Structure 1
Amino acid sequence: MSKLEQGIQFMQEGKWEDAAKLLTEAIQEEPKNPIGYVNFANLLDVLGEYERAVSFYKKALELDDKLATAYYGLGTICYEQEQYDDAKRMFEKAMSCGLQSGDVYFMLGFTYVQLDNDRLALPYLQRAMELNEQDAEAAFQYGLCLARLNHVKEAKPVFEKVIELDETHADALYNLGVVYAFEENGEKALELFKKAVKQQPDHFLAGNGIRLLEQEQ
């Protein structure tokens, strides 16, 4: 196992100091290998050292301007710092350079959500859900985007899928309850709102939904 591979393994195990030592040595031994810089930038990002991480991602791109993972890393930092236009550009660049993972589709879609453009977010969130079939959060955000665009009928099976993946997902339980309320099935809506509150006692919207429906009974 190379120092680069060992450093990545230490990162996965949360051994940050060991990872930093080996990744630094890997860069020193192969200063023209952009992968070393990307992985060291990933480490810095995890540790919250964003400015240093950006410099290492940029160094990687100086060596290989088609390195999709470096653009993705820069995108996540821009997103974390609420620089959504820059994040969008970086994620799009990562995709144009060949990155087609569910994560990049999710992040680009969610960036569009932050930019208040659900219409453009929708296809990316849908693709993220398709690529990460077991990812409850990807499915939930897709369902939520559908609902905001008034595609309530289409959102219903998506929220049901989220609950199949994670029966404790309070927001999915609440939003599915809203769908049933929209369909004028108050009994089912009330049941789902109560389940949401059971999972998250301070869920204000679900609690409010319960009060409104119980007043109607």
Structure 2
Amino acid sequence: MSEKIEKALILTELGRFEAARELLAEVLASEPEEALALARMADLCRQLGEYERALEFSASALRVTPDSIYVWRVRALSEFRLGLATSGEVSAGHRARAVEAARHAVELDPSSVDSLRVQATTQWDTDSTAALKLLDRALELDPDNVRVHVLRGLIFRWQRRGSDALARAEAAFREALRLEPEHSQALYELALITLVRGDLRTGTQQLRRVAELDPEYGDQVREQLERVDALSNSRTTRWAARVVDSQNKRRSGGFRFGRFAAIFVAIALIRGVAAGCSNDSPSPAHDYQYPTPPRIPSEFLHPPTFQPLPPDWRSNFPQLTIVTPVPPPPR
């Protein structure tokens, strides 16, 4: 690997994308078919949201190294993001090409957990059955893969219907948290499930924990807390109205005691429930509804690392371990 490419990788890890792009452009200006530079430029464009450019660079990289698993995954994720950003036949075309590129990566290495996960990501909302089968295979290879557990939970929560879907989603998120206790996406989804089950107090605590762990969830957490607060006030109003109505019905001769008792109970309910649902008993689950549309976490859009292959660099690239941030997907 050239010094400039190595430096570009470091800059990418630090989030200095434009500086990394300048270095890669310098390499490609002198060596237009430098496979590693083309691959990294493709992924850099993807991270910057320039998905069409990412496809252009990935196509150039595949002309040099047609069996690069990494590049096929970058291409799959770029097509996937374009599919999310468009609609109609255009979106369907991108989504189909995303699945095909991911499938090709799996064919090149059927034992790659990362490739299985990427293909499942491209199908998570269009063919959940196929996506779950891919994730089951991935867990056979790597039972402790947190991303696989979280994606599995998302599919059960958002895409599956049935009496056990919510329980299976919850189990997947809890397993992810067992493996990585501060995984913000798993905790956020678990908080929503807790709210759906009617336990507003615990769900609120979990949401606040998410905001502490990951500031990027700040807006989402605030939105959910506002919904919980509105729901709490609505419940309080309904309960107070029922108490007053009950007391009114029990008054037969205009007894003042009944009226005062009703007012006292109503005030107590308002203070108790509006304070944040401090009652430990869960409330009816159907009151809280999941936010829509579903959000696929940005971490699932990372193309995994380069694959180790024989010394012939044209067959693939040497293994690299790169963890880089990506912008969140569109809602």
For Structure 1 versus Structure 2, the TM-score category normalised by the shorter chain is 0.7 to 0.9
Contact 1:4 1:26 in 2 (8 A): yes
> How big is the shift at 1:22?
2.4
Q: Distance in 2 between matches of 1:57 and 1:167?
A: 31
Q: Choose from 80, 94, 100 the match for 1:89.
A: 100
Who is 2:224 aligned against? 203
SS of 1:202's equivalent? helix
**TM-score, L = length of structure 1:** 0.74
Q: Percent identity?
A: 20
Q: Deviations over 1:30-53 (max 9, x none)?
A: 444322211111222222332222
The code of the aligned residue for 1:114 comes to: D
> How big is the shift at 1:142?
0.9
Q: Choose from 83, 94, 119 the match for 1:108.
A: 119
The code of the aligned residue for 2:107 comes to: S
Who is 1:46 aligned against? 47
Contact 2:120 2:132 in 1 (8 A): yes
- Structure 2 residues not aligned, in runs of 5+: 84-93, 210-220, 239-281, 286-331
Q: Cα 1:193–1:100, aligned 2, differ >3 Å: closer, same or farther?
A: same
The code of the aligned residue for 2:80 comes to: Y
> How big is the shift at 1:79?
0.9
> How big is the shift at 1:6?
2.0
The code of the aligned residue for 2:192 comes to: Y
> How big is the shift at 1:91?
0.9
Contact 1:174 1:206 in 2 (8 A): no
The code of the aligned residue for 2:104 comes to: K
Contact 1:37 1:59 in 2 (8 A): yes
Matches within 5 A, 1:132-211: 133=144, 135=146, 138-147=148-157, 148-150=160-162, 151-152=164-165, 153-164=167-178, 165-166=181-182, 169-176=187-194, 178=196, 181=197, 189-196=199-206, 198=208, 200-203=221-224, 207=228, 211=235
Q: Deviations over 1:146-195 (max 9, x none)?
A: 352534454443232344423762321222565xx4xxxx6xx4554343
The code of the aligned residue for 1:9 comes to: I
RMSD, matched Cα: 3.5
Farther-moved stretch of structure 1 (46-55 vs 125-134): 125-134
Who is 2:73 aligned against? 72
- Which structure dedicates a bigger proportion of its chain to helix? 1
Contact 1:197 1:206 in 2 (8 A): no
> How big is the shift at 1:57?
0.8
**Larger RCO (CA under 8 A, 6+ residues apart):** 2
**TM-score, L = length of structure 2:** 0.51
Who is 2:15 aligned against? 14
Q: Distance in 2 between matches of 1:17 and 1:204?
A: 37
Q: Distance in 1 between matches of 2:61 and 2:18?
A: 21
- Structure 1 residues not aligned, in runs of 5+: none
> How big is the shift at 1:120?
1.0
Q: Distance in 2 between matches of 1:198 and 1:160?
A: 18
